[in-house]
Amino acid sequence: MEKEIWKWIITTIPDSQLITFISILNKGKKKQNRVAIKGLSDIERIREEQLKIFRNRIENEVLKPQNLIELQSLLKREMIDDFNLPDKSLGIDELYEYVTTTKASYTIVDLLMRLLISSDEQMREKAKKLYEKLQQDRELKQLPVNSDISDQNKEIAESVQLSDQFRHQIAKLTEEKNLLTKEIKTQKKMIEKLESELKEMNKELKKRDNELELRKNELSTRDKKIRDLMEKITALVESHGDQKNQIADLNTLLVQYKKEVEQFKTKLSSLNNEINLNKPSVVLIDNGNVIESLSKKKYNIMVLTPNDLENTVVFEQADQIWYATFRVTPQKRAKLKKLYGEKIVEFQDYHKLREYCNTGMVYQQ
């Protein structure tokens, strides 16, 4: 019964009081915990024309069990000093007659809420009987309950009339929303695909970082010369204060030299990128003994041990496959030649392998 009474109260009160209830529920709460309605950015600043559309949804949100229980608790503090409860000795008929006349300083809606939030069981029972009396009285609509309630009834009637006008617009907006949802899903799939491609590109860049590290060594000599010049400048300042012109010349030379270094770095970076893209990839089957003596200027070399020959992905991606005859068993050599015949370059010993790699000498098998 109490739930039914609260439903009647929430659907009867004016728009302003309904929004006040929302404000009471949201007071002091974080954004994620506030009462919210889909389609409204700020329910407490809702416009009059929006209320005609969203009133039913706002009422349903307030009537949710958790929100209603919280509202009752908050109203108990808010309404405690609004007005005094009527004399307990008054009967239902007397109380009903009093509250539905202009003698009362409050409406029957206010009284029902005040009775329902009371901790006195007799008061809550009186609220139920008063509500039953209210429902039995068919002439209640003509009683001077409160001008706000009359206005509210008019607004409700207007809302019903306007609902048909907005129904088509709402359906159209819903369709547009569905289309946008599908489009968002499509865009998400494209983003995931691009992220996957970017991940693969990052892996490739990491591989080339190793090659660039070798080029940094070539720059170290230039960096040492710069440090030497700076040391000379410092020495001149400390021991030859009168040689300012020489220092100025050295500073000018140093600035020019730094520019040349930066230009060299730019050219070297461009050259490294071009070299890395054009160098053939090689898989060397070895225990790692010979790799330190091999030049990597012409080839990108990756070492696999004879026990790693099942790594077919690496072999398939390689341009050439090298090994010294004595490092691979005859059975494995036969299998490799069968699978990757044209890629195989076999050497009698390490000397032949180094000649092929470092000097470009073609090895005749």
Summarised one tens digit per residue, pLDDT across range 44-60 is 777 777 778 888 888 88
* Predicted pLDDT of residue 272: 59
Strand spans (E) along the chain: 281-285, 300-304, 320-324, 344-347
Q: What tokens does 56 get?
A: 């039913």
Report d(CA 296, CA 218) in Å as an integer: 14
Kindly indicate the confidence band of residue 23, based on its pLDDT and cuts at 50, 70 and 90. Answer: confident
Helix (H/G/I), strand (E/B), else coil: 113: helix
Asked if 246 and 270 count as a contact pair (C-beta separation under 8 A), the reply is no
Q: Is the pLDDT of residue 364 over 90?
A: no
* Predicted pLDDT of residue 271: 64
List, in sequence order, the alpha helices (H) in 13-146. 15-26, 48-62, 65-78, 92-99, 108-116, 121-136
Report d(CA 119, CA 219) in Å as an integer: 86
Q: Is the pLDDT of residue 146 over 60?
A: no
Please identify which residue in the block is written with the tokens 């007005």: 83
Q: Is the pLDDT of residue 83 over 70?
A: no
Segment 271-282 mean pLDDT: 71
Segment 323-345 mean pLDDT: 91
Indicate if the alpha-carbon torsion angle 143, 146, 151, 156 is positive or negative.
Answer: negative
Helix (H/G/I), strand (E/B), else coil: 40: coil
Q: Is the pLDDT of residue 225 over 80?
A: yes
Kindly indicate the confidence band of residue 102, based on its pLDDT and cuts at 50, 70 and 90. Answer: low
Mean of pLDDT over the chain: 78
How many CB atoms are located within 10 Å of the residue 285 CB? 22
Domain ranges of the chain: 2-158, 207-278, 281-359
> Which of the residue ranges 106-115, 275-284, 332-341 would you say has the lowest mean pLDDT?
275-284
Q: Which residues contact 52 (CB under 8 A, 6 or more apart)?
A: 155, 158, 159, 162, 166
Kindly indicate the confidence band of residue 93, based on its pLDDT and cuts at 50, 70 and 90. Answer: confident
- What is the identity of the amino acid at 69? I
Q: Is the pLDDT of residue 307 over 70?
A: yes
Asked if 323 and 343 count as a contact pair (C-beta separation under 8 A), the reply is no
Indicate if the alpha-carbon torsion angle 276, 281, 283, 284 is positive or negative.
Answer: negative
263 vs 70, more confident: 70
User: How far apart, in Å, are the Cα atoms of 261 and each of 56, 229, 233, 257?
Assistant: 74, 14, 19, 6
pLDDT over 70 percentage in the chain: 79
* Predicted pLDDT of residue 273: 61
* Short-list 240, 331, 339, CA closest to 283: 339
- What is the identity of the amino acid at 223? D
| Predicted structure pTM score | 0.38
Report d(CA 299, CA 246) in Å as an integer: 47
* Predicted pLDDT of residue 269: 67
Kindly indicate the confidence band of residue 82, based on its pLDDT and cuts at 50, 70 and 90. Answer: low
